[in-house]
A and B are shown apart, each in its own frame.
Chain A
Amino acid sequence: MTPTVRTGAHEMRDFGMLYEEEGSPLWRAVFAFSGDQDVANDAVAEAFAQCIRRGDAVRDPRAWVWRSAFRIAAGELKERGRRVAPPTQELTYDLPEAADQLMKTIAQLPRQQRAALVLRHYAGYETREVARIIGTSQATVRVHLSRGRKRLRQLLEEPDED
């Protein structure tokens, strides 16, 4: 038996709505995490495609695409990191100035801190959900957040929120 993707109009509409609701914020979050639009394109497209192919096997498609996109992006970054290691990543995307400045700033944070901060402060996930998405414990996320906030505030030269 060869499984096929779901082809009912109702299910397709569900995925269309899922993309409509999650596609852009997910792409921006992965882009902010990776700093690379190719990685973001790949990761988001692949996550949605796999979610569609898995059909009913995915109980929570929203959580699934976020988790999968971040893990695919992390894997891609790791692979690229082995191939090339330029000292400073240059963004090749034309961005509004404020976004460009933010992207360049968070690009200076370690990868896991970037992921935790983006998911917590941009996507609005609670610590528990951040941990599930990036595949680590809540406590680890808290430390990434603590370290990341400290360094990000320094980079932004902003007063502390606490």
Chain B
Amino acid sequence: MRTDLDQTFDPLDLIEGPDLRAEIERRAATPSPVMAPLSRRRRVTAAVVAVSLFAAVAVFAWAMLSPLGTTPRPSPATRPAHAWQVLSMGWTPLPKVPAPLQGSVRIWAGGALIVWGGNDGDGSGQSALGWRLDAANGPWRPLAPAPLAPRSWAASAWTGSELLIWGGASGADPMSGPLSDGAAYDPANDTWRMLPEAPIGARSPLASVWTGSQWLIWGEGPSRSSGGAMDGAAFQPSTDTWSTIPKAPLRIDDGHAVWTGTEMVVFGGEFLGEFLGGNPAPTAIGGGYDPTTGTWRQLPPTNLNPLGTAWDGSHVIAADNLAKLQSYDPYSNVWTDLPDPPLPRGEGSPSLVVAGGHAIEELNGQTVMLAADGSRWIDIAVRHQGAVGLISAGRFAIGFAASDPRAWAYLPPSSDTPTPEPSGATVAPKGPPLTGTIAFIQGHQGPGPIALLDPASGTSTQLTHRFYNSISLAWSPDRSQIAMSRAISEGTGQIVVVSSATGQILHTLPIAPTLGPQDVSWSPDGHLLAFTDSRARLNVIGVDGSGLRHIDTGRWRTLDIAWAPDGGKIAFTGDQGILGLVDPETGQTDVVVSPSSGRVWYGPAWSPDGRTLAFSMTSGTGSAIFTIGRDGKNLTQLTEPSINATNPAWSPDGNWIAFEAHNSKDLYAVTPDGTDLIRFVHIQGSEYGPAWG
């Protein structure tokens, strides 16, 4: 059934779009790793799509049937030469990965991040598609179709010119339906080739290393019944041939391998010690394979169960699932304990890489970096929980979130830059102290439960555990309660009041759902709630549910509101740029900012002293946070439109203004003078609608 808004969009059908078939044909015949925008000179001029169906099909089919591949492929040199050089020290969010991540190949291929295969994490959606990211700011581009069946957990390596992929599982589980074929992808030409048949059977997962001239794949695991395979194979891209690796003198479950320059060193979870009765004493064994001599040696055991390994240039670093780490010197053949990292001790699967000369470990969503002198671990991810599944990109690391498609790059401090001082569980931001608590709407599995963010530590906790389709939050003045407007269905909603301590629903306001409450604001005396409704009217109701009344604001319709700290006026934003103040008793309105063409103001928030309003201005390119005096003077822009910031919320001490960012879907805070800006990054998808109490 069509609605009035459907009809609103009818004028779009009056627009005559261009005929893009020639351009599509050109692009289909010329796979381009980086899509070059159409220049304005070449821009396809508007043309009436009035070709008859028959003619259109004929022309398009003819175009598609013309010889393909005759247009020269773009040289890799046409890619931005320093596309990743823009990274600044610390974490940089990357564009969301447009592919399933569980069990996918994730590899740094010289100047591009490549993701291929994987599954959706629930056993479905097994993929054979790949994507590449040539610049830190995107966009992701699809790879040419691979000549391989969909799979997860495949072994992979970057040779310097090709991405090699072999084996893996046809099911979501690493051991389900192992495969025995592989292919090589050439990113310069966006082409694939099949690898010849390997001399070993199907397996998944397996350890592999690139030696600089050949790819060694070995072992199998985890397989408690067999104890893992002992054989492997070596692939030489220069001759496109495989050879076998002599059987190792040991079996290793779930082996992890690193290349030391002369040996492939593999470790695994072969438990020689007692592992029963709540007193785990795992003893891992490892082996070293020298491909030059074709010989194996057994490494000394260690009382660690290495599940993550990395080579730092002189030592193998191994991490277990209990936040213990050791280093192994292959020349002295000695294990040495490393300092304990400030990581949670719970069971988990560690991710360990060396990037920028630093060992970086992630375990259970926390990430730490080993100081250059190896003396201590530095917490680097308090504000970036969720950077899990690390890979090394040489001078920086790339982390992938576990349960959503987000990814980040982490550039460690250079060797001549002092490493940040450890500060317990936090990395101290610039600017004034962060106090109070930010309530926000979580958007991980839909908006959303309410979560509470401690801005000082960057940690958050979930307050409510049901999905509420929340729209707006407001703290009670005594901070004991949070009012929340939520949608029930399209056009209907309600306001509930929850305990800020327990998340328990205290009561639901008795308003008709068809009012469709939108923005909510608490009166400073704590007795009333103001809210706008789906018809953009302003309403006030007692927190106890009594006295619902509509406030006539004349010709101004109200979108977002904020009750002034002195209780006298309610600030509102409304029709096409109006920022006004309304007396909730009389409905008398005062205009602070008159409507201005092309500018729309949203989400007013009062400074605690009641002298200044923060809000966002939206234009065609994004939204920015501004402040303005109550008298309409001293308009100040605090953020760039590129952040796409909305919904400001002033901290109770007046030192910070939190806001949501549409581009990153994270919460930020900026000082009222705009000099300091911090970002709170979380694993749980989107965060928005901050309310600072």
Instruction: Give me the interface of A with B, judged by CB distance under 8 Å.
Output: 1-5, 7, 9, 12-13, 15-17, 19-20, 23-24, 27-29, 31-32, 35, 37-42, 44-46, 48-50, 52-55, 57, 68, 71-72, 75-76, 78-82, 84-89, 93-96, 98-99, 101-102, 104, 107-112, 117-118, 121-122, 124, 135-140, 142-143, 145-147, 149-162
Contact indicator B95/A75 (Cβ below 8 Å): yes
A35 to B479 CA separation, bound complex (whole angstroms)? 42
Give the residue name and chain of the A residue nearest to B485 (CB): A146
Q: Closest residue to B58 on the A side, CB-wise?
A: A16
Contact B576 A2 (CB under 8 A): no
Contacting pair A42 B471 (CB below 8 A)? no
Which residue from chain B places its CB closest to the CB of A68 in the assembled complex? B142
Q: List 14 A-B contacts (CB under 8 A).
A: A7-B64, A12-B65, A16-B58, A27-B17, A49-B28, A50-B142, A78-B138, A88-B620, A110-B644, A139-B448, A146-B487, A146-B518, A150-B534, A155-B575
Contact of A108 among B29, B128, B619, B663 (CB under 8 A): B619
The reply to whether A1 and B194 contact each other, CB–CB distance below 8 Å, is yes
Contact A41 B471 (CB under 8 A): no
Interface 1/0 per residue, B41-71 and A, CB below 8 Å: 0011010010001001111110011001100
Tell me, in angstroms, the Cα distance from A53 to B30 when the chains sit together: 10
- Please state if A155 and B98 are interface contacts (CB–CB under 8 Å): no
B292 at the interface (CB under 8 A from A): no
Find out whether the CB atom of A5 lies under 8 angstroms from the CB atom of B28.
yes
Question: Are B139 and A76 interface neighbours, CB within 8 A?
Answer: yes
Q: Contacts A72-B35, A85-B642, A89-B619 known; A3 to B144 CB distance under 8 Å?
A: yes
- Least distance between A47 CB and chain B CB atoms (Å): 9
Complex CA–CA separation, A31 to B142 (angstroms): 22
Distance between A139 CB and nearest chain B CB, rounded to angstroms: 2
B641 touches A85 (CB 8 A): yes
Cβ–Cβ < 8 Å partners of A122 in chain B = 6, 9, 12
Interface size class of B (residues with CB under 8 A): 35 or more
With A and B bound together, what is the CA distance between A156 and B557 in angstroms?
12
Contact assessment for A23 and B641 in the assembled complex, using a CB-CB cutoff below 8 Å: no
A16, A72, A156: the one contacting B60 at CB < 8 Å is A16
A40 CA to B23 CA in the complex, in Å? 13
Q: Give per-residue flags for B628-655: 1 if the beta carbon is below 8 A from chain A beta carbons, else 0.
A: 0000000000001110101000000000
Asked if B623 is at the interface (CB within 8 A of a chain A CB), the reply is: yes
Residue B297 CB within 8 A of the other chain = no
A31 touches which of B17, B137, B448, B516 (Cβ 8 Å): B17
| Residues of chain A within 8 A of B25, CB atoms compared | 49
B622 on the A face (CB < 8 A): yes
Q: A1: which of B31, B193, B640, B686 is its contact (CB, 8 Å)? A: B193
Quick check: B490 and A139 within 8 Å, CB to CB?
A: no
**Known contacts A55-B145, A139-B446, A154-B557, A45 near B24 by CB under 8 Å:** yes
Beyond the given pairs A42-B37, A154-B576, 5 more chain A to chain B contacts, judged by CB atoms under 8 angstroms and listed by A's residue number, are A12-B60, A89-B620, A118-B9, A121-B8, A160-B535
Residues of B within 8 A of A29 (CB): 12
Q: Contact at B24–A78, with CB atoms within 8 Å? A: no
**Nearest neighbor of B17 in chain A, beta-carbon distance:** A27
- State whether A89 touches B621 (Cβ < 8 A): yes
Give Cα A10 to B119, complex, Å.
31
Which chain A residues border B686 with CB–CB below 8 Å?
A: 136, 140
Q: How far is the CA of A99 from the CA of B158 in the complex (A)?
A: 50
Q: Which residue of B lies closest to A77 (CB)?
A: B621
Q: How far is the CB of A138 from chain B (nearest CB, A)?
A: 7
When A and B form their complex, which 4 residue pairs have the shortest distance between CB atoms, in order from nearest? A139-B446, A89-B620, A75-B139, A162-B491
The interface residues of chain A lying within 8 Å CB-to-CB of B89 are none
Report A76 CB to chain B, min CB distance, Å: 7
Q: List chain A residues, Cβ under 8 A from B140.
A: 75
A16 / chain B contacts, CB cutoff of 8 Å = 21, 56-61, 64
Let me know if B192 is at the binding interface, CB within 8 A: yes
| Pairwise interchain contact A57-B11, C-beta atoms closer than 8 A | no
